[in-house]
Amino acid sequence: MQRIIRGGLTLQRNILFNVQKSQIIRQQHFKASVVVPASATATATATAEATEDISRPTKVFDTNRDRQFNMNSNRLFAQELLEKITENTNNLPPPIFTEKCCEFYKQLDREGKLEFFDVLSKEFDVDRENAVKQAKDYIQAGNSNNAVQIEKNLQYYLEPKYNIFLDRIHQLPNGLKFLADMRADLLDIMGSRGSVTYNEYFSLEQGIRLKIKKYVIGFLKLERITWEKSSASLLEKICSYEAVHQVKDWKDIKRRLGPDRRVYAFFENNIPNEPLVFVHVALLPTMANSVQAILNAPNPTKQDSNLSNFKYAICYSITTQQGLGGINLGNYLIKQAVDDLQKQFPLLQVFATLSPMPGFRQWLNNHVDDDPTIQAEFDQIKDWKNVGFNSRDQEVLKDPLMRLCSRYILSEKRIGNNALDPVANFHLRNGACAHQIHWQADISEKGIRDSFGIMINYNYITDRLESNHRLYQKNGTISISEPNDNEESWLSKWIIRK
């Protein structure tokens, strides 16, 4: 027993010695920009540079592999750490190596993170050389006794080695949050779809996305955020993360949590104070046609808060952390929020949204000069681009812009026959109907800049969600539920005109 204890202590000392050694080497030979992430109030940046210039840095870990020492220090340090974390041995590496790698990553600037992702995607990707060899052996093996083992070997070489690294991170406290932030950094670095950088790191980004989805789905917990019970730190995160309608102050967030309002969020069990995705809902007596009317509404009286007054539940904002985009968390959240609201308010008749159209104005600006059908809408309006949206002259733009907005929502498609507008694509993919577009529904600076102030309702008709979803996924069919008694049925008019 004493021999075992002494052996364990010796192993522990060796691990600590290696970590201390890596810290000393890091301080002496490596350069890194230290960036403190932006908070709601300030951003701090500091840069630390090494004082010695040594052209051949000492190895941090002995990996028994030849090294090309023309790599810069950050790249070498990242590669050494990642190799230690993902090495193929019977013993799991201690968490301290993974923690060290995360600390190292957080210190990197944009260029350093790009280099880190380059190491991950190239040095820790699928082992294609061995995979090809095993595939040939597998074909030749046929039904022999070796076939099963060769198949296992092939599966091993076909899995990217960086998956081991991602699994190790997820095992750490707040590991999921780190992975989400890391993916957000990668998406920012990749840039626009189809660019050289985007294509180069697409496989790595998708690998991280699928891992996060695996970690999250099945471990989500729905909670209602309240002014009375939610912690101040959680409310602060709801304010700072809000991506659709900025929260102005504490009075503003308190109003959004009032008796005629609801905020729901999804949390993961291991990070209970980190909202992964959250939705704001207004309980109203009529369909919403102005987000300012929702945001600036006075506190309700007792009579206003009567449950019988709530006929419409209007989702006016949904925010997903950037690194969790594409995992459909918003879809799950809306459905669970609707279920909870139906239980609380059985008299609710309509579940809908008041949604922005963030790409409308950009689409119009990009196509107006080379599309005669768009130009024809403005034949009678001189210098339409400079008409002020806070002036009396703006009414002359209403009819042409509402017609073009209907075309944008219903007819403009991306690859795959889905709606071009990202918010439209999200709700239509969930099975919602395009309901009605509204003029001057968001007169904020952002609303005017993005969509000339036009917004749209998407109607979640519960017994039509599945059929709408299937039709949209199959051929891009968009269902409309526009009210029949409304003179401004712009969506229906566009369909008839088309």
Integer CA distances (angstroms), 237 to 135, 180, 260, 309, in order: 49, 15, 22, 31
Catalytic residue among 280, 427, 435, 438: 427
Burial grade of 379 (CB within 10 A; 0-12, 13-18, 19 or more): exposed
| Active-site annotation holds for 427 | yes
Classify residue 496 by burial, with Cβ atoms within 10 Å: 0-12, 13-18, 19+.
exposed
Residue labelled with tokens 């049925």: 489
| Residue among 22, 121, 355, 479 flagged as catalytic | 355
Token pair for 180? 């989400």
Answer for the pair 318, 331: CB distance below 8 angstroms, yes or no: no
Count of beta carbons in the 10 Å neighbourhood of residue 325: 17
444 belongs to the catalytic site: no
Which position has the token pair 């005017």?
448
Structure tokens belonging to residue 422: 């990202």
Instruction: Classify residue 280 by burial, with Cβ atoms within 10 Å: 0-12, 13-18, 19+.
Output: buried
Cα–Cα distance measured from residue 67 to residue 353, given in angstroms and rounded to the nearest whole number: 57
Beta bridge partners of 458: 434
Judged on CB neighbours under 10 Å (0-12, 13-18, 19+), 314 is: buried
**Residues with catalytic roles:** 355, 427
